[in-house]
Chain A
Amino acid sequence: MLTSPEALIAILGMALVTFAVKAGGLLLANRLPRDGFAAAWLKHIPGAVLASLVAPALVTGSPAEVIAAAITALVYFLTRSLLPTMAAGVLAVYLARLWLVG
């Protein structure tokens, strides 16, 4: 089985709406003013989105995730570098889960 017309339509539709949203964000941004309330709003979006990505993962997880997040933050402040920070976070959550779950 290679594919079907139904699967092709579904994938093309998904691709179309995904591209429309990605391109739409950039095009709509060009109509917003460069300063004032809208500009301040746009400026705060990246941090707010990142905080929204991180926070639920820490709250809904086990204490292992919270411990690992603290170690991740510590390693980031010590190294200011992304790769060791990510590696430390993954290792920390792995060990913390072993230790907590047994």
Chain B
Amino acid sequence: MSTLAAPYRFSDQFYAGARACIPVVISVAAYGVVWGVLARGAGLSLLEVIMMSGLVFAGSAQFVALDLWSATPASLPIGPLILAALIVNLRYLLLTATLRPLFGPREQVKGALIMGIVSDETWAMTVGEMAKGRGSVGFLLGGGVLAYVCWMATTVIGHTLGSAIDDPSKYGLDFAFTATFLALLLGMWKGKGDLIPWIVAALAAIVSAKLIPGSWYILIGGIVGSLAGAIGERLRKNAD
């Protein structure tokens, strides 16, 4: 940990991260319960729910897995399950790459191990913190551990509850992610240079969401939009 850039104690940063992530962890909890309920319906045992939440720890990939799951072991599509998890999670290549400034050149192995606990929500909170010139490994871990414990607990609760909550959209809870991501996006506004990448990303995501099934649109919009931002910067520099 660099002592010059971060004059904070690790425990302070850990608590700050956990506190800051409470709003997003609430939506994680809501989806955890729903996933647990659906997992029971798809035929996962309680032990399998605990293993998948604890070892895979990736909400969207776990939702996709439920579509493929079979209660009969002999007909379980092992290959497609693993491939689907890989494709749905490919976007993490982009997400965790942006966390590189948190780690020094010799902290790659430590950093790579810590990445296991990163989720969309805690990544977004940490990157938002970094955009304000703050953010640290402690902050990331505080939010990450809170989200992990919460996901584990609520998926188990969902599996135990059975079919009490069948449809999150009935309570508007499906919008919790969109509202949170929208607020995080607005907080990242730094100037006109952001307009091109955001609009291009939004359009690319809308078009690819219509044409390609699954969550490819997140990856496509993220790559196309950020490339447009970089090209825009290059063009402005050349014009000067």
Contacts and interface: CB of A to CB of B under 8 A. Distances in A.
Interface of A: 1-19, 21-30, 32, 37-38, 40-60, 65, 68-69, 72-73, 76-77, 80, 82-83, 85-86, 88-94, 97
A56 B95 CA distance: 19
A96 to B, nearest CB: 9
B123 to A, nearest CB: 8
B111 interface: yes
* A contacts with B: majority SS: helix
B74 A6 contact: yes
B99 A26 contact: yes
B24 A82 contact: yes
A47 B57 contact: no
A11 B55 CA distance: 8
Given A32-B97, A52-B220, A53-B120, 9 more contacts: A3-B47, A18-B56, A23-B116, A26-B100, A41-B229, A44-B229, A51-B199, A52-B205, A85-B183
**For the complex of A and B, 9 pairs with smallest distance between CB atoms:** A89-B179, A52-B221, A48-B225, A44-B229, A94-B172, A25-B96, A4-B73, A55-B202, A52-B205
Nearest to B81: A10
Interface string B1-44: 00000000000000000001011101100000000000000001
A26 B194 contact: no
A10 B82 CA distance: 6
Interface in B76-123: 76, 78, 81-82, 85-86, 89-100, 103, 105, 108, 111-113, 115-116, 118, 120
A56 B217 contact: yes
A56 B56 contact: no
Interface centre among A6, A17, A41, A45 (most CB of B within 10 A): A45
B197 A54 contact: no
Contacts of A22: 89, 92, 96, 115-116, 118
Contacts of B78: 6, 9-10, 13
A17 B88 CA distance: 11
Contacts of B51: 3, 8, 11
Interface in B118-136: 118, 120, 124, 127, 131
B176 interface: yes
B124 A26 contact: no
Contacts of A86: 23-24, 26-27, 176, 179-180, 183
Interface stretch (B147-155, B157-165, B184-192): B184-192
B145 interface: no
Contact of B23 (A38, A57, A83): A83
Contacts of B177: 53, 57
Contacts of A30: 100, 105, 108
